[in-house]
Amino acid sequence: MVDTAVDTPITKLTAALAARRQAGEVVVAPFLTAGDPDLDFTFQALKVAQQAGATLCELGVPYSDPIADGPVIQASYTRALNAGGTLEGVFGLAARASEQLTMPLVAMTSYSIIFRRGIDRFVGEAAAVGLTGLIVPDLPIEESSLLAKACRQADVALVRLVTPTTPPERAARIAAESTGFLYCVSVAGVTGERVSLPQQLKDRVRWLKEQTDVPILVGFGISRPEQVREVGDVADGVIVGSALVRHLEATSGDQRQTALASIAQHVGELVAAGRAG
Protein backbone atom coordinates (compact mmCIF):
# COMPACT_ATOMS: atom_id res chain seq x y z
CA MET A 1 0.00 0.00 0.00
CA VAL A 2 1.33 3.38 -0.95
CA ASP A 3 -1.34 5.01 1.15
CA THR A 4 0.22 6.06 4.43
CA ALA A 5 -3.14 6.65 6.15
CA VAL A 6 -3.86 4.35 9.07
CA ASP A 7 -6.16 1.51 8.07
CA THR A 8 -9.58 2.06 9.56
CA PRO A 9 -12.78 0.09 9.03
CA ILE A 10 -14.21 2.65 6.66
CA THR A 11 -11.03 2.98 4.58
CA LYS A 12 -11.07 -0.77 3.99
CA LEU A 13 -14.61 -0.47 2.64
CA THR A 14 -13.90 2.62 0.57
CA ALA A 15 -10.74 1.12 -0.91
CA ALA A 16 -12.52 -2.08 -1.94
CA LEU A 17 -15.28 -0.13 -3.67
CA ALA A 18 -12.81 2.20 -5.40
CA ALA A 19 -10.62 -0.64 -6.64
CA ARG A 20 -13.57 -2.37 -8.27
CA ARG A 21 -14.81 0.81 -9.91
CA GLN A 22 -11.34 1.63 -11.19
CA ALA A 23 -11.28 -1.77 -12.84
CA GLY A 24 -14.48 -0.78 -14.62
CA GLU A 25 -16.61 -3.37 -12.91
CA VAL A 26 -20.00 -3.18 -11.27
CA VAL A 27 -19.84 -3.79 -7.54
CA VAL A 28 -21.79 -6.87 -6.45
CA ALA A 29 -22.66 -6.93 -2.75
CA PRO A 30 -24.39 -10.10 -1.58
CA PHE A 31 -26.53 -10.11 1.53
CA LEU A 32 -26.41 -13.17 3.76
CA THR A 33 -28.18 -13.83 7.04
CA ALA A 34 -25.67 -14.49 9.80
CA GLY A 35 -26.31 -17.92 11.28
CA ASP A 36 -28.80 -19.38 8.80
CA PRO A 37 -28.59 -22.33 9.18
CA ASP A 38 -25.49 -21.89 11.38
CA LEU A 39 -22.49 -19.60 11.71
CA ASP A 40 -20.03 -21.95 10.06
CA PHE A 41 -22.22 -22.24 7.00
CA THR A 42 -22.42 -18.45 6.78
CA PHE A 43 -18.63 -18.27 6.96
CA GLN A 44 -18.33 -20.78 4.10
CA ALA A 45 -20.91 -18.82 2.12
CA LEU A 46 -18.98 -15.58 2.62
CA LYS A 47 -15.86 -17.34 1.45
CA VAL A 48 -17.41 -18.65 -1.76
CA ALA A 49 -19.00 -15.26 -2.38
CA GLN A 50 -15.59 -13.62 -2.16
CA GLN A 51 -14.09 -16.25 -4.45
CA ALA A 52 -16.91 -15.63 -6.92
CA GLY A 53 -15.96 -11.97 -7.08
CA ALA A 54 -18.19 -10.20 -4.53
CA THR A 55 -16.75 -6.80 -3.62
CA LEU A 56 -18.20 -6.70 -0.13
CA CYS A 57 -20.81 -8.58 1.82
CA GLU A 58 -23.75 -7.47 3.88
CA LEU A 59 -24.19 -9.54 6.99
CA GLY A 60 -27.81 -9.58 8.14
CA VAL A 61 -28.15 -9.59 11.92
CA PRO A 62 -31.27 -11.69 12.58
CA TYR A 63 -34.11 -9.74 14.14
CA SER A 64 -37.48 -10.92 15.39
CA ASP A 65 -39.57 -8.13 13.82
CA PRO A 66 -37.97 -6.97 10.56
CA ILE A 67 -40.67 -4.74 9.09
CA ALA A 68 -38.61 -3.73 6.04
CA ASP A 69 -38.13 -7.34 4.97
CA GLY A 70 -40.21 -9.54 2.77
CA PRO A 71 -41.03 -13.20 3.44
CA VAL A 72 -37.70 -14.70 2.28
CA ILE A 73 -35.42 -12.73 4.61
CA GLN A 74 -38.00 -12.79 7.38
CA ALA A 75 -38.07 -16.60 7.26
CA SER A 76 -34.28 -16.71 7.17
CA TYR A 77 -34.05 -14.52 10.28
CA THR A 78 -36.55 -16.76 12.02
CA ARG A 79 -34.50 -19.86 11.16
CA ALA A 80 -31.33 -18.22 12.47
CA LEU A 81 -33.00 -17.17 15.73
CA ASN A 82 -34.65 -20.55 16.20
CA ALA A 83 -31.21 -22.12 15.76
CA GLY A 84 -30.08 -20.12 18.79
CA GLY A 85 -28.59 -17.13 16.97
CA THR A 86 -27.22 -14.36 19.18
CA LEU A 87 -25.43 -11.07 18.67
CA GLU A 88 -22.30 -12.60 20.22
CA GLY A 89 -22.46 -15.26 17.55
CA VAL A 90 -22.76 -12.70 14.76
CA PHE A 91 -19.81 -10.74 16.10
CA GLY A 92 -17.80 -13.95 16.40
CA LEU A 93 -18.55 -14.79 12.77
CA ALA A 94 -17.57 -11.28 11.70
CA ALA A 95 -14.27 -11.57 13.57
CA ARG A 96 -13.47 -14.89 11.89
CA ALA A 97 -14.42 -13.62 8.44
CA SER A 98 -12.49 -10.37 8.84
CA GLU A 99 -9.43 -12.35 9.80
CA GLN A 100 -9.58 -14.94 7.04
CA LEU A 101 -11.18 -13.04 4.16
CA THR A 102 -10.15 -9.82 2.43
CA MET A 103 -13.65 -8.69 1.46
CA PRO A 104 -15.09 -5.96 3.74
CA LEU A 105 -18.21 -6.76 5.73
CA VAL A 106 -21.06 -4.41 6.51
CA ALA A 107 -23.71 -5.31 9.09
CA MET A 108 -27.39 -4.83 8.34
CA THR A 109 -29.12 -4.51 11.67
CA SER A 110 -32.27 -3.19 13.25
CA TYR A 111 -31.91 -0.19 15.52
CA SER A 112 -33.76 -2.21 18.18
CA ILE A 113 -30.69 -4.40 18.53
CA ILE A 114 -28.23 -1.49 18.57
CA PHE A 115 -30.27 0.43 21.13
CA ARG A 116 -30.57 -2.55 23.44
CA ARG A 117 -26.83 -3.20 23.30
CA GLY A 118 -26.05 0.46 23.89
CA ILE A 119 -25.05 2.62 20.93
CA ASP A 120 -21.39 3.20 21.80
CA ARG A 121 -20.88 -0.35 22.94
CA PHE A 122 -22.43 -1.78 19.78
CA VAL A 123 -20.34 0.37 17.47
CA GLY A 124 -17.18 -0.32 19.47
CA GLU A 125 -17.76 -4.05 19.31
CA ALA A 126 -18.60 -3.89 15.60
CA ALA A 127 -15.35 -2.06 14.86
CA ALA A 128 -13.38 -4.47 17.04
CA VAL A 129 -14.60 -7.51 15.06
CA GLY A 130 -13.74 -5.83 11.78
CA LEU A 131 -17.13 -4.72 10.55
CA THR A 132 -16.53 -1.77 8.24
CA GLY A 133 -19.99 -0.26 8.28
CA LEU A 134 -23.57 -0.42 9.47
CA ILE A 135 -26.82 -0.30 7.55
CA VAL A 136 -29.75 0.39 9.85
CA PRO A 137 -32.89 0.19 7.78
CA ASP A 138 -35.28 1.38 10.49
CA LEU A 139 -33.33 4.48 11.51
CA PRO A 140 -34.24 7.65 9.60
CA ILE A 141 -31.87 10.62 9.70
CA GLU A 142 -33.92 12.49 12.31
CA GLU A 143 -33.18 9.79 14.89
CA SER A 144 -29.62 8.99 13.91
CA SER A 145 -27.40 11.65 15.48
CA LEU A 146 -26.14 9.50 18.38
CA LEU A 147 -25.33 6.56 16.17
CA ALA A 148 -23.73 8.78 13.54
CA LYS A 149 -21.47 10.29 16.19
CA ALA A 150 -20.44 6.89 17.51
CA CYS A 151 -19.72 5.68 13.96
CA ARG A 152 -17.61 8.75 13.19
CA GLN A 153 -15.56 8.23 16.31
CA ALA A 154 -14.98 4.57 15.48
CA ASP A 155 -14.38 5.22 11.75
CA VAL A 156 -17.22 2.88 10.92
CA ALA A 157 -19.37 3.74 7.90
CA LEU A 158 -23.04 4.54 8.49
CA VAL A 159 -24.71 3.72 5.21
CA ARG A 160 -27.97 5.64 4.65
CA LEU A 161 -30.91 4.64 2.51
CA VAL A 162 -32.91 6.67 0.02
CA THR A 163 -36.14 5.32 -1.43
CA PRO A 164 -38.53 6.19 -4.26
CA THR A 165 -40.78 7.95 -1.74
CA THR A 166 -37.99 10.20 -0.42
CA PRO A 167 -38.57 13.79 -1.56
CA PRO A 168 -35.59 15.35 -3.44
CA GLU A 169 -34.40 17.78 -0.74
CA ARG A 170 -34.49 15.03 1.82
CA ALA A 171 -32.70 12.62 -0.53
CA ALA A 172 -29.94 15.19 -1.04
CA ARG A 173 -29.55 15.55 2.72
CA ILE A 174 -29.45 11.78 3.24
CA ALA A 175 -26.93 11.35 0.41
CA ALA A 176 -24.70 14.02 1.92
CA GLU A 177 -24.73 12.30 5.31
CA SER A 178 -24.12 8.78 4.07
CA THR A 179 -20.64 7.38 4.60
CA GLY A 180 -19.02 4.37 2.90
CA PHE A 181 -21.68 4.23 0.23
CA LEU A 182 -25.29 5.24 -0.32
CA TYR A 183 -27.98 2.57 -0.44
CA CYS A 184 -30.52 3.40 -3.11
CA VAL A 185 -33.68 1.37 -2.59
CA SER A 186 -35.08 0.56 -6.02
CA VAL A 187 -38.75 0.20 -5.14
CA ALA A 188 -41.20 1.28 -2.47
CA GLY A 189 -41.81 -1.89 -0.53
CA VAL A 190 -40.10 -4.64 1.38
CA THR A 191 -37.07 -6.69 0.34
CA GLY A 192 -37.65 -9.42 -2.23
CA GLU A 193 -37.10 -10.24 -5.88
CA ARG A 194 -38.92 -8.17 -8.48
CA VAL A 195 -39.49 -9.03 -12.13
CA SER A 196 -38.92 -5.49 -13.30
CA LEU A 197 -37.34 -2.38 -11.85
CA PRO A 198 -39.07 1.00 -12.03
CA GLN A 199 -38.49 3.10 -15.15
CA GLN A 200 -37.48 6.14 -13.12
CA LEU A 201 -34.75 4.27 -11.23
CA LYS A 202 -31.97 5.26 -13.63
CA ASP A 203 -32.96 8.93 -13.51
CA ARG A 204 -33.03 8.87 -9.74
CA VAL A 205 -29.58 7.29 -9.54
CA ARG A 206 -28.15 9.81 -12.02
CA TRP A 207 -29.59 12.62 -9.94
CA LEU A 208 -28.25 11.08 -6.71
CA LYS A 209 -24.77 10.80 -8.25
CA GLU A 210 -24.75 14.58 -8.43
CA GLN A 211 -25.58 14.88 -4.74
CA THR A 212 -22.77 12.79 -3.29
CA ASP A 213 -19.24 11.54 -3.87
CA VAL A 214 -19.79 8.19 -2.16
CA PRO A 215 -20.57 5.20 -4.38
CA ILE A 216 -24.22 4.34 -4.92
CA LEU A 217 -25.39 0.76 -4.61
CA VAL A 218 -28.91 -0.21 -5.64
CA GLY A 219 -30.80 -2.81 -3.67
CA PHE A 220 -34.26 -4.41 -3.22
CA GLY A 221 -35.61 -6.54 -6.04
CA ILE A 222 -32.29 -7.38 -7.73
CA SER A 223 -31.56 -11.00 -8.57
CA ARG A 224 -30.61 -11.41 -12.24
CA PRO A 225 -27.59 -10.68 -14.45
CA GLU A 226 -29.54 -8.40 -16.82
CA GLN A 227 -30.58 -6.27 -13.84
CA VAL A 228 -26.91 -5.91 -12.88
CA ARG A 229 -26.13 -4.66 -16.38
CA GLU A 230 -29.12 -2.33 -16.38
CA VAL A 231 -28.40 -0.82 -12.97
CA GLY A 232 -24.64 -0.87 -13.55
CA ASP A 233 -25.07 1.67 -16.37
CA VAL A 234 -25.74 4.37 -13.81
CA ALA A 235 -24.98 3.06 -10.31
CA ASP A 236 -21.73 1.80 -8.82
CA GLY A 237 -23.18 -1.52 -7.87
CA VAL A 238 -25.97 -3.74 -6.70
CA ILE A 239 -27.00 -5.41 -3.47
CA VAL A 240 -28.54 -8.85 -3.81
CA GLY A 241 -30.45 -10.20 -0.84
CA SER A 242 -33.57 -12.32 -1.05
CA ALA A 243 -32.51 -14.13 -4.23
CA LEU A 244 -29.36 -15.39 -2.47
CA VAL A 245 -31.06 -16.04 0.84
CA ARG A 246 -33.41 -18.37 -1.06
CA HIS A 247 -30.45 -20.71 -1.44
CA LEU A 248 -30.47 -21.04 2.37
CA GLU A 249 -33.93 -22.54 2.41
CA ALA A 250 -32.60 -26.09 2.03
CA THR A 251 -29.30 -26.66 3.83
CA SER A 252 -29.60 -29.85 5.84
CA GLY A 253 -27.05 -32.64 5.40
CA ASP A 254 -25.98 -33.14 1.79
CA GLN A 255 -27.80 -30.00 0.75
CA ARG A 256 -25.13 -27.80 2.34
CA GLN A 257 -22.64 -28.26 -0.49
CA THR A 258 -25.37 -27.77 -3.07
CA ALA A 259 -26.46 -24.54 -1.39
CA LEU A 260 -22.89 -23.23 -1.26
CA ALA A 261 -22.38 -24.11 -4.93
CA SER A 262 -25.63 -22.31 -5.82
CA ILE A 263 -24.51 -19.20 -3.97
CA ALA A 264 -21.12 -19.27 -5.67
CA GLN A 265 -22.70 -19.71 -9.08
CA HIS A 266 -25.33 -17.02 -8.54
CA VAL A 267 -22.80 -14.46 -7.31
CA GLY A 268 -20.43 -15.45 -10.12
CA GLU A 269 -23.09 -14.82 -12.78
CA LEU A 270 -23.90 -11.41 -11.36
CA VAL A 271 -20.22 -10.45 -11.14
CA ALA A 272 -19.65 -11.61 -14.71
CA ALA A 273 -22.60 -9.54 -15.90
CA GLY A 274 -21.04 -6.53 -14.19
CA ARG A 275 -17.76 -7.06 -16.02
CA ALA A 276 -19.20 -7.44 -19.47
CA GLY A 277 -20.06 -3.75 -19.91
Partner 1 sequence: MATSTAPHRSYSQVPDPLGRFGDYGGRYVPETLSAALDELEQAYTEAAADPAFQQELDDLLCRFVGRETPLLFADRLTEYAGGARIYFKREDLSHTGAHKINNTLGQGLLALRMGKRRIIAETGAGQHGVATATACARFGLECVVYMGAEDVRRQAPNVRNMRLMGAEVRPVESGSRTLRDAINDAMRDWMGSVETSHYIIGSVVGPHPFPKIVRDFQSVIGRETVAQCERDLGRMPDMVVACVGGGSNAAGMFYPFVDVEGVRLVGVEAGGRSAQAGSHAASLSHGQPGVLHGSLSYVLQNPDGQTSDVHSVSAGLDYPGVGPEHAYWHDAGRVDYTSVTDAEALDAFDLVARKEGILPALETSHALAWTVREAASMPPEAVVVVCLSGRGDKDAAEIARLRGFSEELTHG
Which of 36, 38, 69, 236 is labelled catalytic?
69
Least gap, CB of 80 to partner 1 (angstroms): 11
Question: Is residue 65 a contact residue for partner 1 (CB under 8 A)?
Answer: yes
Least gap, CB of 126 to partner 1 (angstroms): 14
Q: Which residues in 53-79 are b (16+ Cβ under 10 Å) and which e?
A: bbbbbbbbbbbeebebbbebbbbbbbb
Find the part of the chain contacting partner 1 (CB under 8 A) among 38-46, 180-188, 211-219, 248-256.
Answer: 180-188
What residues contact 81, with CB distance under 8 A and at least 6 apart? Answer: 62, 64
Find the part of the chain contacting partner 1 (CB under 8 A) among 28-36, 40-48, 105-113, 225-233.
Answer: 105-113
Question: Is residue 97 a contact residue for partner 1 (CB under 8 A)?
Answer: no
Question: Is residue 83 a contact residue for partner 1 (CB under 8 A)?
Answer: no
Question: Is residue 86 a contact residue for partner 1 (CB under 8 A)?
Answer: yes
Residue 194 or residue 275: which is nearer to partner 1 going by CB? 194
Question: Is residue 207 a contact residue for partner 1 (CB under 8 A)?
Answer: no
Least gap, CB of 268 to partner 1 (angstroms): 31
The answer to whether residue 226 is catalytic is no
Which of 25, 36, 38, 58 is labelled catalytic?
58
Question: Is residue 201 a contact residue for partner 1 (CB under 8 A)?
Answer: no
Question: Is residue 98 a contact residue for partner 1 (CB under 8 A)?
Answer: no
- Which among 129, 125, 121, 134 has a CA at the least distance from the CA of 95? 129
Question: Is residue 140 a contact residue for partner 1 (CB under 8 A)?
Answer: yes
Question: Is residue 63 a contact residue for partner 1 (CB under 8 A)?
Answer: yes
Question: Is residue 165 a contact residue for partner 1 (CB under 8 A)?
Answer: yes
Number of residues counted as binding partner 1 (CB under 8 A): 42
The answer to whether residue 236 is catalytic is no
Least gap, CB of 198 to partner 1 (angstroms): 12
Question: Is residue 214 a contact residue for partner 1 (CB under 8 A)?
Answer: no
Q: Which residues bind partner 1 (CB under 8 A)?
A: 63-70, 74, 78, 81, 86-87, 110-117, 137-140, 142-143, 160-167, 170, 174, 185, 187-190
